[in-house]
Amino acid sequence: MTYDLTPLFRTAIGFDRLARLANSAAETASTQAYPPYNIEKTGEDAYRLTMAVAGFGPENIEIVVKDNTLFVTGRLADDANKAEILHRGIAGRAFERRFVLADHIVVDGADLVHGLLHVGLKRVVPEALKPRRITIGNAPALAPGEKANDDATVIEHKAA
């Protein structure tokens, strides 16, 4: 399923990433179900991704961030000495999950506890992009004889 974002593109420039994001989300939702995961908001600018990865150890999981996309990949090593499995209720197949990250979201760390992979994420907005308040009357002092603005036009107001 693809979305027609043509009306948006008539008046906006540079939002092609939004179209790719919508199409990618639709494709991912319909094709992947393993391994199951939760996404939690743990604070104002903090999130936690929890994935059920029973049977995987830290050496079997790779976490990579590339181009605002978080890749979580799991691969089990083939063990020739395994016993014959009569019933497989715990999936142990390889997987790759992709999560598109918003701007300024960074991975804060990862931990594997009791078969659950926890990936911490947080929003780190650079100082230059944060709102800042400008106080009035806080202009730098002028040196004696220096004009405030040479290009300014002065308009005199006369009393009526």
Domains and CATH numbers, the chain: 1-31 (no CATH), 33-129 (2.60.40.790)
pLDDT of residue 40: 95
Pick the more confident residue, 13 or 120: 120
Average pLDDT of 106-110? Answer: 94
For the chain, the DSSP string reads -----HHHHHH-SS-HHHHHHHHHHHHHHHH---S-EEEEEEETTEEEEEEE-TT--GGGEEEEEETTEEEEEE-PPP-TTPPPPS---S----EEEEEEPPTTEEEEEEEEETTEEEEEEEE---GGGS-----TT-PPPPPTT--S-TTPPP------
pLDDT tens for 34-78 read 899 999 999 999 999 999 999 899 999 999 999 889 999 999 877
pLDDT: which is higher, 8 or 133: 133
pTM for this one?
0.64
Q: Output the average pLDDT for the chain.
A: 80
